[in-house]
């Protein structure tokens, strides 16, 4: 099924009106009828004259009777929504709660399908506009709580999750990123209108996105300079105005800033000797869902 959204409408249709935040504000969300049946379907959406695709995952526990969370999970370089669905750790966590998941597919760039996060990794496409339109579209067909929309991703998909934290914190309540960091080339543009919870999973032996940061030629012709895992951790703490020292690492290698503006959290989970710091759904999902939009 295809749909089309104009750029002028994107912000308005993805941001709930004042006081319309779902059950916690006392204003009910009107659930679409009939309810979507449990299924995995490949859908398309027209944004800025381009046809974009995504996999819509409706779990068996979803019955359409009450608003549920929405989690978007973004694939790595040269991946696809279907591929990400196959490796995602999140359905095991979200399915029992009836949460809807979406697995979008990026457009082709110099190194095949990717996401535009500023200096990398596909040019001339507004992926933030696409994602805003995607959230709006899914919200017309499934009963989504607008205060509980989240993003996750791996490698450039993790970069997209963090980019959305920077540029779409009015839509996304919190994000989880794996194997990607903020970049010197555009970190100055990361000015979310509110504090936002961010958790980042990183491996100390990652060869594609070095834990220590520095220059990278991840995509030919699109060089970037990563802040590094610790640099990104500190930058998010600065953005969220955290006033505490990070906690000692727990048994999962996770260190946390918890005294942050707006009650948000900034977390770095480090895998010593690990390469790709795969998103741990059992750690990330409980953290994400603790933090709805204010």
Q: Got the DSSP string for 68-117?
A: EEEEEEE--TT--HHHHHHH-SSHHHHGGGT-EEEEE-PEEEBTEEE---
Q: Is the pLDDT of residue 52 over 70?
A: yes
pLDDT at 27: 62
pLDDT at 83: 97
| Mean pLDDT in residue range 111-118 | 96
* pLDDT higher at 155 or 1: 155
Evaluated on CA atoms 103, 108, 111, 112, the torsion sign reads: positive
Q: Would you state the structure tokens that stand for residue 117, as one six-digit string?
A: 């996060």
| pTM, entire model | 0.90
4-5/144-154 β-pairing: unpaired
Q: Would you state the structure tokens that stand for residue 145, as one six-digit string?
A: 């709580």
Q: What angle do CA 124, 72, 89 make, to 5 degrees?
A: 125
d(CA 24, CA 28): 9
pLDDT digits (tens, 9 = 90+) for 62-109: 999 999 999 999 999 999 999 999 999 999 999 999 999 999 999 999
pLDDT at 73: 98
Contact 225, 215 (CB under 8 A): yes
Beta strands in 138-195 (DSSP E): 144-154, 174-178
Contact 175, 70 (CB under 8 A): no
Count the Cβ atoms, other than its own, within 10 Å of residue 225.
15
The SS3 assignment for 266 reads strand
Candidates 69, 155, 92, 152; CA nearest to 282 is: 92
CATH 3.40.50.1820 fits 34-289, yes or no: yes
What are residue 161's phi and psi, to 5 degrees? Answer: -60, -45
What are residue 164's phi and psi, to 5 degrees? Answer: -70, -35
Contact 168, 144 (CB under 8 A): no
Burial class, 248, CB count within 10 angstroms (exposed 0-12 / middle 13-18 / buried 19+): exposed
Tokens 């727990």 correspond to what residue?
250
pLDDT at 23: 40
Q: Give the chain's mean pLDDT.
A: 91
């Amino acid at each position: 099924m295809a749909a089309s959204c104009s750029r002028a409408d994107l912000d308005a249709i993805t941001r709930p009106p004042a006081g319309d935040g779902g059950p916690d504000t006392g204003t009910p969300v009107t659930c679409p009828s009939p309810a979507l049946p449990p299924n995995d379907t490949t859908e398309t959406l027209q944004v800025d004259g381009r046809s974009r695709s995504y996999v819509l995952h409706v779990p068996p526990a979803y019955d359409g009777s009450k608003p549920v969370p929405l989690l978007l999970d973004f694939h790595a370089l040269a991946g696809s929504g279907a591929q990400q669905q196959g490796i995602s750790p999140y359905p095991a966590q979200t399915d029992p709660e009836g949460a809807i998941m979406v697995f979008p597919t990026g457009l082709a760039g110099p190194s095949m399908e990717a996401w535009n996060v500023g200096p990398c990794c596909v040019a001339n496409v507004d992926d933030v506009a696409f994602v805003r339109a995607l959230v709006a579209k899914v919200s017309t067909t499934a009963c989504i709580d607008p205060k509980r929309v989240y993003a996750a991703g791996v490698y450039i998909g993790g970069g997209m999750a963090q980019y959305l934290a920077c540029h779409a914190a009015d839509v996304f309540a919190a994000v989880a990123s794996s194997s990607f960091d903020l970049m010197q080339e555009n970190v100055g543009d990361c000015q979310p209108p509110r504090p936002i919870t961010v958790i980042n999973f990183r491996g100390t032996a990652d060869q594609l996105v070095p834990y220590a940061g520095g220059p990278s030629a991840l995509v030919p012709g699109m060089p970037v300079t990563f802040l590094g895992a610790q640099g990104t951790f500190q930058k998010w703490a600065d953005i969220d105005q955290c006033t505490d020292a990070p906690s000692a690492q727990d048994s999962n290698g996770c260190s946390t800033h918890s005294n942050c503006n707006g009650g948000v959290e900034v977390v770095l989970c480090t895998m010593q000797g690990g390469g790709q710091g795969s998103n741990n759904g059992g750690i990330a999902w409980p953290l994400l869902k603790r933090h709805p939009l204010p």
